[in-house]
A and B are shown apart, each in its own frame.
Chain A
Amino acid sequence: MSLYDLNLSAIAERNGRWHEKVTEVEGKKEQLPNSLEGVESNVTRDGNFAVTIIVGDRKVRLNSGFRPMEEAERWAKQYSFQNVTNVVTMFGLGNGYFCKAIQKKLTEEGHFFIYEPSPDIFFHALEEYDLRDLILDERIVIGVEGINEFDVHIALKEALNITNLRNHEICVHPQYDEIFKDSWSEFKEDIKNCVSHAVINHNTMMYFAKVSMTNTLQNIKYLRQCNTFIELREVIPTDLPVVVVAAGPSVEESIEGLRKMKGKGIIIAVDRILDFLLDREIVPDFVVSVDPNKLITNFSKRDDVAVPLFCFMDSKAGIMERHKGKKIFCNVGSFIGEIFEKIKGYAPLVPTSASVATVAFSIAVQIGFRKIVLVGQDLAYSGSTTHAGGITSNPYSSDVIMVEGVDGNKVPSRYDWQEFIMWYEDVIKLYPQIEVIDTKTKGAKIMGTKNMSLEEAVSIENDKCLDVQDVLEQIPPTFSDAEFLEVVEFLKENFKILDQIKKKAQDGVRVCCDLIDMTKKGRLQSRAVDRSLEKVRSINEFILEQPIYVFMDAAVKQNFQEKFIDSTSLGTDEVSNSLKVFDTTRSMFHAIDEVVSELKPVLKEAMDSFIEE
């Protein structure tokens, strides 16, 4: 078997889709980006090989012509990955020597993302070098421009979070930043966006941590009569177009179109635009409200809204109370998800994202619609206006950035909107079978969408007339009476577990204090310390395996977030590292104790009202 076949088999073993993409482009390499005039490998003085590429009329050697392996090892010395959660991104795979030098230094839990801008070099490396160690390593994701670069983008976005941002190292294969300047700029921009995404995610999680927990408990009472979006898959005709109405100023252009299309397609409106539509006598088929902190007035000033509501378990409790119609849960979180899994064998988990409109879009994707039409998803200022009805609202930042508009000109936008644009573009790439239409005539361009008016997007459809309310009435509630009793039992059990968690956390604080004391007295290497560490491990294990703890986790982290983030970066001194870890663990146990105290009365009240219901 040739090296090429061995490498290709490894790619197939690691990731079938990657293999498909590689074989797809094999015959049309000339269409791929960053093409080179030539790539060759020559024997070096020590009997290894060095890659030389021809760029224009210039020959560039990518490795030492003397001892390339040693060069790679010495190059890698500049990086030290002593933290547990290192994330390394590398621009350039080359012949794999430099990447293998990094791989050797990676911790077991580390992540390593390699971006190769040149398919020519990649194919040459597959033919001439054994890359199987890199390909098959689960910690490593390799993306090649023009083939599967998106894999690196998605994996990096998933891997980066607030705990590893400080330990994120960006490496460049020698010569690559000079030769592939444009790709390097784009890759750096992508990394920057992934970092911003991680920061936004963290800030959102911290901002919502406690309110999300209390909303969830207060919303438990709606489980009795609820449905989930999963049940809708069976009854809603997904061959109809679905129109997601966001709250941007351009909604005003589509009012007539929305009025005419009622029954010809499904209208899902975000909470912010509900009153605007109802005031114009357009009743959407569904409304979406997922923000745990949403102002009730931004949902509706009316107190008789019965439009079916797509919601999350932690949607604002006041809005859930005010809304009188059918509640359809799309994400129940991990704690309530546990009981769904146990009773129904599934849990509704539409991914959360930073905007109600992107959640509405995700719901449409998850239900299975094949044609999604965006209305009012401007993601740009219209003058100084941000929302339909001439409203200006700028809660995040006053910094204006320019992005590409649907008309090809630059338009003023915001960082949070830019994040949503990137989100749409990623999801559209992930679901190529879904046709996404953007109806606005001005505003930010979303790559991957077709731009046309609402009338054009929906008029070609058949003459079906669907009454969503009728369809929903035919679906029984998710939980039967017998299943409902199981939910009650689940909550009662978890109420008892809270007491046990509290006691364990208090024990944990005491043990950590002892550990700090012993370390300061120079007794780090002692049997007493070993015994205490064992106690901490067993307390941790007990707490972490309780489903209700996962639910409390964000609120716990919110209580000790500074120390938590700091604890992910350790130095080289064992004693100060140990003191840092023990102190962080003590703070964590203390935070758990506090959160349990806050949680218990809310859970008690929620259980009482649930049982009463």
Chain B
Amino acid sequence: MELAKLMQEKINIMTELFYQQNTNAYQYLNVILEGLTQLINLLVQYQAENNEKILDEQELLQSITEAFTAMQEGDNVLLADLFSYNIKEQLQTLIDCENK
């Protein structure tokens, strides 16, 4: 789950940049979206192979959709908040599962 940890770090940086109205935040958003897509694919594959539900990927997708809606409405602070609290928390669940 190194990827999940890396995503958390990137989300931290992106959040700060969005809070600071810094447009470099979008570059991080691109990287994070790529990482999350990869992560969801891995998760779906792992859960199918092991017949074990460690995280509801639909819930994660739902959070990402909400964040996109905020972005479309021009509310970058909400976008950052959703990543920083909801999505990061879901990533933490993944990390905790692996640690167990």
State the A residues within 8 Å of B (CB): 45, 61, 63-67, 71, 74-75, 77-78, 172, 174
Q: Of B20, B78, B84, which one neighbours A75 at CB under 8 angstroms?
A: B20
Min CB gap A179→B, angstroms: 12
Contacts A61-B75, A64-B77, A174-B77 hold; do A71 and B85 have CB atoms under 8 A apart? no
Q: Of A61, A74, A77, A78, which one neighbours B78 at CB under 8 angstroms?
A: A61
Min CB gap B34→A, angstroms: 24
Contacts A45-B85, A74-B15 hold; do A65 and B78 have CB atoms under 8 A apart? yes
- Residues from chain B with a CB closer than 8 A to the CB of A67 are 81, 85
Q: Of A45, A63, A65, A78, which one neighbours B20 at CB under 8 angstroms?
A: A78
* B21 CB-CB contact with A under 8 Å: yes
Q: Of B21, B81, B85, which one neighbours A174 at CB under 8 angstroms?
A: B21
Measured CB to CB, the nearest residue on chain A to B20 is A78
A-B contact pairs, 11 of them (CB 8 A): A45-B85, A63-B77, A65-B81, A66-B81, A66-B84, A74-B15, A74-B16, A75-B19, A75-B20, A77-B16, A174-B77
**From DSSP, what is the main secondary structure of chain B's interface residues?**
helix
Min CB gap A585→B, angstroms: 37
A310→B34 CA distance, assembly (Å): 76
Measured CB to CB, the nearest residue on chain A to B22 is A78
- Residues from chain A with a CB closer than 8 A to the CB of B85 are 45, 66-67
B20 & A64 in contact (Cβ 8 Å cutoff): no
- Residues from chain A with a CB closer than 8 A to the CB of B84 are 66
- Residues from chain A with a CB closer than 8 A to the CB of B21 are 172, 174
A11→B59 CA distance, assembly (Å): 49
- Residues from chain A with a CB closer than 8 A to the CB of B15 are 74
State the B residues within 8 Å of A (CB): 15-16, 19-22, 75, 77-78, 80-81, 84-85
- Residues from chain B with a CB closer than 8 A to the CB of A66 are 81, 84-85
Q: Of A61, A71, A172, which one neighbours B19 at CB under 8 angstroms?
A: A71
A74→B18 CA distance, assembly (Å): 10
B81 & A64 in contact (Cβ 8 Å cutoff): yes
B77 & A77 in contact (Cβ 8 Å cutoff): no
- Residues from chain B with a CB closer than 8 A to the CB of A45 are 85
Measured CB to CB, the nearest residue on chain B to A71 is B19
- Further pairs besides A64-B80, A66-B85, A78-B20: 13, Cβ < 8 Å: A63-B77, A64-B19, A64-B77, A64-B78, A64-B81, A65-B81, A66-B81, A66-B84, A74-B15, A75-B20, A78-B22, A174-B19, A174-B77
8 A-B pairs closest in CB distance: A66-B81, A75-B19, A78-B20, A74-B19, A74-B16, A66-B85, A71-B19, A64-B81
Interface-central residue, B19, B21, B75, by most chain A CB under 10 Å = B19
Min CB gap B71→A, angstroms: 15
A63→B81 CA distance, assembly (Å): 11
A64→B20 CA distance, assembly (Å): 12
- Residues from chain A with a CB closer than 8 A to the CB of B22 are 78
Interface-central residue, B15, B77, B81, by most chain A CB under 10 Å = B77
Contacts A66-B84, A66-B85, A174-B21 hold; do A61 and B16 have CB atoms under 8 A apart? no
Min CB gap A389→B, angstroms: 55
A516→B56 CA distance, assembly (Å): 65
A65→B20 CA distance, assembly (Å): 16
Min CB gap B47→A, angstroms: 29
Min CB gap B84→A, angstroms: 7
Q: Of A71, A78, A172, which one neighbours B77 at CB under 8 angstroms?
A: A71
Min CB gap B67→A, angstroms: 12
- Residues from chain B with a CB closer than 8 A to the CB of A174 are 19, 21, 77
Measured CB to CB, the nearest residue on chain A to B77 is A64
A480→B80 CA distance, assembly (Å): 75
A78→B18 CA distance, assembly (Å): 11
Min CB gap B51→A, angstroms: 35
- Residues from chain A with a CB closer than 8 A to the CB of B19 are 64, 71, 74-75, 174
- Residues from chain A with a CB closer than 8 A to the CB of B20 are 74-75, 77-78
A61→B74 CA distance, assembly (Å): 11
- Residues from chain B with a CB closer than 8 A to the CB of A78 are 20, 22
A45→B81 CA distance, assembly (Å): 11
A65→B76 CA distance, assembly (Å): 12
Measured CB to CB, the nearest residue on chain B to A46 is B85
A75→B21 CA distance, assembly (Å): 8
- Residues from chain A with a CB closer than 8 A to the CB of B80 are 64
- Residues from chain B with a CB closer than 8 A to the CB of A64 are 19, 77-78, 80-81
- Residues from chain A with a CB closer than 8 A to the CB of B16 are 74, 77
Measured CB to CB, the nearest residue on chain B to A62 is B77
A568→B37 CA distance, assembly (Å): 50
A331→B77 CA distance, assembly (Å): 55
Measured CB to CB, the nearest residue on chain A to B12 is A74
- Residues from chain B with a CB closer than 8 A to the CB of A172 are 21
A61→B22 CA distance, assembly (Å): 18
Measured CB to CB, the nearest residue on chain A to B84 is A66
A45→B75 CA distance, assembly (Å): 17
A401→B34 CA distance, assembly (Å): 52
Measured CB to CB, the nearest residue on chain A to B82 is A66
A75→B15 CA distance, assembly (Å): 10
